[in-house]
Structure 1
Amino acid sequence: MEARNSSSANNELEPKFRVDGSCWKFIPVISEGLFSRTSHDDILRHPLTLLQLQLAIVFILASSIHFCFFKRFKLPRLISEVLTGMILGETGLGTFFPEICGALFSKNAGKIMYTLTRFGYFLFMFLIGVKMDVSLVAKSRRREWTMGAIIIIFPMLVIVSMSKHIALKNDRLDSSNLEGVGLIGGTLMLTSFPVVACFLMDQKIINSEMGHLALSVSLISDLLSIVIINLNSYGVLIKFATLRASFKSMFLSIAVVVFIISFLRPMMFWMIRQTPEGKPVKDSYIYIFLISLLLVGIVGDNVGLQYYYGPFFLGLAVPTGPPLATTLVEKLDTMVTGWMLPLMSTYCGFKSNLWELNRRPLLSTIFVLTAGTVMKFSCGFIPAILFKMPWKDAAVLSLILNSQGIIGLGTIATNVEKMPVVSQEFTLVVLVVLFYAAVVPILIRSLYDSSKTYTGYQKRTIFNSSAQEGIRVLACAHRQDDAMSAIRLLELMNPAKASPLSVHGLYLEELLGGSTPLLLNHQLGQKSSEDGSRWQPIVDVFNFFKSQNIKQTQVQVFTAITPPKLMHEDICWIAFSHLVALLILPFHRKWNSNGNLISDSKELRVLNIKVLNKAPCSLAIWIDRSKIRGPSFLAKSPEYNICVVYLGGKDDREALAIARRMRGWISIHLTVVRFISIDVCPMQGWESMLDDECLRDIKHQSPMNTNVVYREQRVKDGADTSMVVLSLLEENFDLILVGRHAVTKSPIIEGLSDWAEFPELGPIGDQLASAEVNKTVSVLVVQQQVIENE
């Protein structure tokens, strides 16, 4: 069979525009103006105007397809972008309306679009390097290294080698065409870290245990693939040039990497040192950095590296986190991922031609699509099983590592001009990437439910915890004030030898300038490449609390650096893995010492709602209005007045159980206000509580130094309840505890939810959290653990 390269995607360039090195005739991308006389009344003759029209058509069509069809099925935007290219290319517009296609997407216009696409991919690979956390490699264990090596080495070597052999023997291709076959096989066998990271982010499982494992394995696999690909390119140089040329290219490539590490990376640290804390890097430094980026790309391309490997290595050298990496991502990410990179997907669809699939593909291509798929899945599934993962989790992990995306399209698109790839095979590769992008998310959602990770049948509540086993508490903080506020609450649960307290502090920081979430355990000495000055004050606050209660308290402090949309996953995971019984979240509103509202964060409110819906234990939202600042607010007060608003139900029982744990060397006055509908037969005093075990216990088994007072409040409807609750604010209570949901259907709270500002706090908690309340009373809104099937 003859080599079918006559329809190669390479032949679309006229010979006068093609020379070795893929250089084209210079095309000025300018516009002479709308009213220019030299335009011959045809505005589309201006390259800049035509480019702008192309971009408008591409983005409007891609957005319409995505939002009208694929977004509702939670499929990636990549599919819409590729389909847009097919509609505008030879498959659609070029076949049915060739005149319009020729006017809008002429050869010269296609060259401009392709150049813009390559430049966008150049910057994208740099950003990928910036967002990568290479420390994951050092932290990886034998399991990650073994799986990462197997899933890239065996498919890459075996499948690519055998596909070349089949192409040579069965497809009768000559040796000059084998590199195109290797390109197709290597592209489909890649396990790309950026694709896996974006996939996990889209599926909202990047912070799960499965997500952390997939990130580590894919990063190791990606770095090994870079080594394999470059060694192969040096082998090609030996085959088609000389051994001396190959070693020269290898030496110069290593020199570029050494230059990045020994000169440019110290320059980055100098820029960071010159930048005041909390401030962005100066624009002049960014300009110098971007010039260095372009120079590294040009030099790397000329010494034998792929043109995007130089920027990728430079991105890896950028110190993660603020200020440099954060500033670079903020300035480039929107332009690259939102504008330039989608053009790559569209370009691949544009260059595809579905009408050429009427012939049988090459046997080598069929082998890659069938045997390659089976082998790559097996290389992910079998090692996972050998490392004792459940078969369903092993299948999910293998599917994640087999996901395809923009890297596969970028690899085939940026190399197709240099290799004789048949247009039919190019179209097949694009369709395979499209198939994986559509099917893998659906399979993952059907096999893996990350929410069930935190669903437990074991009761992790204060109500069900015995006094002897103590309490495990997770206190979250976004800044030092949150940590100090949490300590003020924990000091009320004064730990004793008979009832110890185990505190887990969690500092939550937004992930900026990276794609890999970090979870650091400071008790294990874990560190990141970032400056720890941001979390050290929070660590010091919790350590101070431990120093005051050495024998009765255990303290562990964590730092989670993660995207805000997935921050709740880290919170729930730590609570789940450390068997926490109570999770404390700071309220999204803050007050100053005068009782005035000074902060109202919508992002923190959304985070709290997500945790409320997913928490694996009991949860409390801490609304701190205390005037007194410092490490302890109890030192200046000889007594503390606590009120429990009790309507009945499991959330109120949990609030009462927390109040039972509050004890100390100071005198605590605990008032239980029970609301009863006026229609219920009246009973006096504690006799009305005999049906409630929790209320009986707090009367007869109250802690030492705690004075318990019971009050029964009879109300007619929600309006009466609201008046009584507001009157409690005038009684000089320091802390009010209330259940989140209380009784869901009761005349006691009828109508209160209709005007709620914060429905997530429940009808009573919403009233107590109102901005109109300027009292110093603090509020703890409690939700008992939600048990599945309960």
Structure 2
Amino acid sequence: MHFFMILLKPLRQPRFVSQLMASILVGPTFLGSIFYWERDPFRWMNLFPYEQSMLLESYANLGVTYYMFLVGLEMDLSNLKHTRKKSWSIAFAGFFIPFVVGAILYFVPLVNDRPERDQNYVGALFWAITLSITSFPDVARTLSDVKLLHTELGTIALSSALITDILTWLFLVLAIVISDENLHSITLSLVPIFCFITVSFFGLHPLITWMLQHTKNKQGKFSNKLSDTLIYIILMGVAVSGFITDACGSHSLVGGFVFGLIIPKGEFAIEVMEKTEEFVSGILLPGFLICSGIRTDFRNLVKETKWSSVGMITTIATSAKIVSTLVVSSSFRMSLKEGLTLGSLMNIKGVFALVVLNEGRNLKTLNEVYMVVMVFIILMMTCLVRPILMLINCTRKHSSHSKLRTIQASKPNSELRVLTCIHSGQNISGIIHLLEVSNSTRESPICVFAAHLVELTERASAILILHDKLKTSTTPSLSQGKSQPDHYIFSAFENYKIGNESVSLHPLSVLSPYTTMHEDISKVAEDKAVTIILIPFHKQPTADGGLQGENKTIKYVNKNLLAKAPCSVGILVDRGLGSSKLSKSLSSDKLPELQLAMLFIGGPDDHEALSYAWRMARKEGVILTVVRFRPSIDGKNNENESCYSIKEDENKVEFDDDDYINLFRFKSMYDKSITYLEKRVKSSNELEKAIGELYSNFDLYIVGRGRGVKSPLTDGLIDGGDSQELGVIGDTLISSKFTAHASVLVVQQSASSEIMDDSLPPSESNFKQKKWASPVLNPEYEAKYGKEQEERLLMGRICRHGLHEESIKM
């Protein structure tokens, strides 16, 4: 199985395809057909002799029972009340139309000189159910791979897959029960099964909920020992439930599935899944797959079937869901591409389909040839879905064609849209404190998209996925389906929002493999028109100001995000962020100053960092000091050097740091909370020394990452190692003992952005310091911008001091 997984990984095929192909390989189609194994000297090479088949069958049934328990465990029925009409319509069409088509195709002659078929037509029901199946966990994984998980289309596909899965299980239970043609036996099976389901939902479910609530400690968590004991009890309950349903005339998998449904969804359910999923899918379930493989002989497909009939059935069966989804989606005015994408997603099969087929064969309602044909159809459907989806969506517009957003290019009173990325509870405090000093006002509000980053595994996050897609507008306190980390994280953001009408909050979860998580973050940022993404550093601070506990997965995500993000990115190295001063400034009339420093070297990243620091300086109790370091040659000030310049395409537009600094100084000249300093240094050693001796008494340093900047001031600084994503200045700040007490925010302007300040057209940028000692002395600048700036400054004083416009006029 692992060999096929490695072989098919470049084609992005799911694990189910690898497992199915491996089971077929060890069956009679290939390895099982070697006649040498029937001879005495080679009999030891027979992997699965007939004498041990009953033991393998029992092992397979146990694996299926626990697999069905996990399927039920990841289904949250409460999500159905949040599902919209569009999803219900697509789910019903995607289930019932293939169901009818499958039942009709069952009666198409497939075998040459076919003998008279058994009169038990329940086999048509199993065929129909198999064609109607849509595997919800595999749909989630596929959506993540093709980067559609966080789209409206992904929401519809996930909710439709959940409804289809539930309908499939209802019909499977019915098919197992009515497989016996004796009406009396059917009645004797249906009544006990109905009683078992009723007792489970209205008796066992409240009992388990009560037990979980009364075994938590004061912090609302389970101790490790108690948690393991509860998991053992749950696993024993699965076996007992399977035994009961088997004794009632059904199958043990029904009991396992129902028992999974009644487990309360939340922290405990996810913990059970995390601790048992690898054992079930890696040890127990392969026994079922191997058992299916050794009982499926693809040679019958070649020898006995009519290939014309097989081709016709495969074509009709494959296109039934796509056509039905297209018809329904067109009624909701969805595009052809969206309809094809949904139809392809609804065709995804999984282990669930094999379970249905094997039950049909075990109950002797499915002919062997019909079993092989359906396995072939399932394999074809599953293998073709992802290439089709990649082909359909390869023409999507990418972020490079959309308008890229930066703080520098934003209007003064525009909304700041921030995407915060949280990996764990350790990242919350620093990010929230940073948002608090970002100066949300009625004139310039902040819209926060609080994203909890969760690794998407094969199965374990399916509860989180659908809950996030259906309940993104609900408050965290109402999030019954989310894990405890999600609840804790979103509650912290909700507390930040309370009492601040100028902040809007949108919690969400980004579920993706770490290897492609940056793509999902970028997609969310693009869809939400985010201005800046705030992410934590990959190390945690120590008590003495050092850093420890490197997280390579966070580092990998940060590195890729810096290279691909469609907007600005800020990396926060959190060392407290002056939280004590901030809390005092918010709770008392006195205003202890939160000291911010922006160290300016040059380049677009420094422009963006200064723009963000400038916004923070408008908040009460925040003092900003901007220090511009300039090179000095042989002890003489060089007035004409430029720290940074860049040429863009054929326009050859040159961006001078002097222009941006002069604009900043002019606009902030009346702001007493902002101090501008210039320091000339000869080398990187002097720069590092100046930071340590003169500019070390700050709570937060805001610096640019320095991408693309070549300056003599930074030539000697170390750029590399574990802190390469922070740039040379950021790395210097976190490494220096003089600044070990302070937090550091490293800002990078969008890697693909047009480095241009719309408020200062380069063609008219003639206000350089080499001509004018101060921007105020420039008559051309005053004539063009003076009146506008005077009005803005007046309104700024009104907002800062709480004055009313009427009193100003008087």
Q: TM-score range by the shorter chain?
A: 0.7 to 0.9
Counterpart CA distance in 2 for 1:197 and 1:268 is 28
- In structure 1, what is the equivalent of residue 667 of structure 2? 701
Cα offset, 1:486, TM superposition: 2.8
Residue 289 of structure 2 corresponds to residue 339 of structure 1: no
Cα offset, 1:429, TM superposition: 2.8
> What does the per-residue CA deviation read over 1:622-672, in whole Å, with 9 as the maximum and x for residues that have no partner?
222237445825628644443333343322221121122122333624223
- In structure 1, what is the equivalent of residue 798 of structure 2? none
Asked whether the equivalents of residues 413 and 443 of structure 2 are also in contact (C-alpha less than 8 Å), the reply is: yes
In structure 2, the CA distance between the partners of 1:389 and 1:336, relative to structure 1 (3 Å rule), is: same
Cα offset, 1:458, TM superposition: 1.6
Q: 1:528 aligns with which of 467, 476, 479?
A: 479
- In structure 1, what is the equivalent of residue 82 of structure 2? 139
Q: 1:261 aligns with which of 201, 204, 212?
A: 201
133-142 or 406-415: which moved more? 406-415
- In structure 2, what is the equivalent of residue 82 of structure 1? 20
Asked whether the equivalents of residues 631 and 680 of structure 2 are also in contact (C-alpha less than 8 Å), the reply is: yes
Asked whether the equivalents of residues 475 and 483 of structure 1 are also in contact (C-alpha less than 8 Å), the reply is: no
Q: 1:130 aligns with which of 73, 94, 102?
A: 73
In structure 2, the CA distance between the partners of 1:152 and 1:601, relative to structure 1 (3 Å rule), is: same
Counterpart CA distance in 2 for 1:208 and 1:729 is 50
3-state SS of paired residue (1:316)? helix
Q: 1:191 aligns with which of 134, 155, 165?
A: 134
Letter in 1 for 2:626: T
Residue 493 of structure 2 corresponds to residue 554 of structure 1: no
Cα offset, 1:545, TM superposition: 4.6
3-state SS of paired residue (2:462)? coil
- In structure 1, what is the equivalent of residue 300 of structure 2? 356
Cα offset, 1:613, TM superposition: 4.5
Cα offset, 1:610, TM superposition: 4.8
- In structure 2, what is the equivalent of residue 29 of structure 1? none
- In structure 1, what is the equivalent of residue 791 of structure 2? none
> What does the per-residue CA deviation read over 1:412-454, in whole Å, with 9 as the maximum and x for residues that have no partner?
2343233254444433333333333332222222333699676
- In structure 2, what is the equivalent of residue 151 of structure 1? 94
Asked whether the equivalents of residues 692 and 738 of structure 2 are also in contact (C-alpha less than 8 Å), the reply is: no
Asked whether the equivalents of residues 360 and 366 of structure 2 are also in contact (C-alpha less than 8 Å), the reply is: no
- In structure 2, what is the equivalent of residue 711 of structure 1? 678
365-374 or 457-466: which moved more? 365-374
Asked whether the equivalents of residues 584 and 591 of structure 2 are also in contact (C-alpha less than 8 Å), the reply is: yes
Cα offset, 1:140, TM superposition: 0.7
140-149 or 569-578: which moved more? 569-578
Q: 1:119 aligns with which of 62, 72, 95?
A: 62
Letter in 1 for 2:336: W
In structure 2, the CA distance between the partners of 1:725 and 1:475, relative to structure 1 (3 Å rule), is: farther
- In structure 2, what is the equivalent of residue 586 of structure 1? 536
Asked whether the equivalents of residues 576 and 742 of structure 2 are also in contact (C-alpha less than 8 Å), the reply is: yes
Asked whether the equivalents of residues 736 and 778 of structure 1 are also in contact (C-alpha less than 8 Å), the reply is: yes
- In structure 2, what is the equivalent of residue 252 of structure 1? 192
- In structure 2, what is the equivalent of residue 643 of structure 1? 597
In structure 2, the CA distance between the partners of 1:104 and 1:772, relative to structure 1 (3 Å rule), is: farther
How many residue pairs were aligned? 720
Cα offset, 1:500, TM superposition: 3.5
Aligned pairs for 1:768-787 (under 5 A) are: 768-770=733-735, 775-787=740-752
Cα offset, 1:107, TM superposition: 0.3
In structure 2, the CA distance between the partners of 1:260 and 1:784, relative to structure 1 (3 Å rule), is: same
Counterpart CA distance in 1 for 2:505 and 2:28 is 61
Q: 2:555 aligns with which of 585, 594, 605?
A: 605
Q: 1:330 aligns with which of 274, 299, 303?
A: 274
Aligned pairs for 1:365-404 (under 5 A) are: 366-404=311-349
Counterpart CA distance in 2 for 1:295 and 1:714 is 77
What RMSD in Å do the two structures reach over aligned CA positions? 3.9
- In structure 1, what is the equivalent of residue 726 of structure 2? 761
Counterpart CA distance in 2 for 1:729 and 1:442 is 60
404-413 or 253-262: which moved more? 404-413
Work out the percentage of aligned pairs sharing the same amino acid: 26
Letter in 2 for 1:361: T
Letter in 1 for 2:479: S
Counterpart CA distance in 2 for 1:176 and 1:771 is 84
Cα offset, 1:465, TM superposition: 0.8
434-443 or 362-371: which moved more? 362-371
Counterpart CA distance in 1 for 2:737 and 2:152 is 43
- In structure 1, what is the equivalent of residue 10 of structure 2? 72
Structure 1: state its 5+ residue gaps. Answer: 1-61
Aligned pairs for 1:124-523 (under 5 A) are: 124-164=67-107, 173-176=116-119, 178-200=121-143, 205-233=148-176, 236-237=179-180, 240-242=181-183, 244-273=184-213, 274-276=215-217, 277-279=220-222, 280=224, 281-323=226-268, 325-359=269-303, 361=305, 366-419=311-364, 421-448=366-393, 457-477=402-422, 482-506=427-451, 514-516=461-463, 517=465, 518-519=467-468, 520-521=471-472
> What does the per-residue CA deviation read over 1:513-553, in whole Å, with 9 as the maximum and x for residues that have no partner?
64132335466688232589766665565455555654xx2
191-200 or 248-257: which moved more? 191-200
Counterpart CA distance in 1 for 2:433 and 2:161 is 43
Counterpart CA distance in 2 for 1:493 and 1:623 is 16
Asked whether the equivalents of residues 700 and 745 of structure 2 are also in contact (C-alpha less than 8 Å), the reply is: yes
Asked whether the equivalents of residues 676 and 715 of structure 1 are also in contact (C-alpha less than 8 Å), the reply is: yes
In structure 2, the CA distance between the partners of 1:199 and 1:338, relative to structure 1 (3 Å rule), is: farther
Residue 621 of structure 2 corresponds to residue 666 of structure 1: yes
Asked whether the equivalents of residues 327 and 513 of structure 1 are also in contact (C-alpha less than 8 Å), the reply is: no
Asked whether the equivalents of residues 664 and 705 of structure 1 are also in contact (C-alpha less than 8 Å), the reply is: no
Letter in 1 for 2:434: L
Cα offset, 1:678, TM superposition: 5.9
Asked whether the equivalents of residues 322 and 513 of structure 1 are also in contact (C-alpha less than 8 Å), the reply is: no
- In structure 2, what is the equivalent of residue 23 of structure 1? none
Aligned pairs for 1:614-625 (under 5 A) are: 614-625=564-575
Letter in 2 for 1:224: L
Counterpart CA distance in 2 for 1:773 and 1:447 is 55
> What does the per-residue CA deviation read over 1:369-428, in whole Å, with 9 as the maximum and x for residues that have no partner?
222222222112332233233322322221111122322223223432332544444333
Asked whether the equivalents of residues 685 and 710 of structure 1 are also in contact (C-alpha less than 8 Å), the reply is: no
> What does the per-residue CA deviation read over 1:40-83, in whole Å, with 9 as the maximum and x for residues that have no partner?
xxxxxxxxxxxxxxxxxxxxxx323433x223333334334333
Tell me the TM-score normalised to structure 2 length: 0.78
Counterpart CA distance in 1 for 2:341 and 2:690 is 51
In structure 2, the CA distance between the partners of 1:496 and 1:73, relative to structure 1 (3 Å rule), is: closer
Counterpart CA distance in 2 for 1:750 and 1:318 is 60
In structure 2, the CA distance between the partners of 1:736 and 1:289, relative to structure 1 (3 Å rule), is: closer
Aligned pairs for 1:103-118 (under 5 A) are: 103-118=46-61
Asked whether the equivalents of residues 167 and 178 of structure 1 are also in contact (C-alpha less than 8 Å), the reply is: no
Letter in 2 for 1:708: T
Asked whether the equivalents of residues 471 and 500 of structure 1 are also in contact (C-alpha less than 8 Å), the reply is: yes
627-636 or 654-663: which moved more? 627-636
> What does the per-residue CA deviation read over 1:178-206, in whole Å, with 9 as the maximum and x for residues that have no partner?
44454344323322324323444565654
Letter in 2 for 1:91: T
Cα offset, 1:730, TM superposition: 5.2
Counterpart CA distance in 2 for 1:380 and 1:789 is 42
In structure 2, the CA distance between the partners of 1:722 and 1:131, relative to structure 1 (3 Å rule), is: farther
Tell me the TM-score normalised to structure 1 length: 0.80
In structure 2, the CA distance between the partners of 1:531 and 1:419, relative to structure 1 (3 Å rule), is: closer
- In structure 2, what is the equivalent of residue 30 of structure 1? none
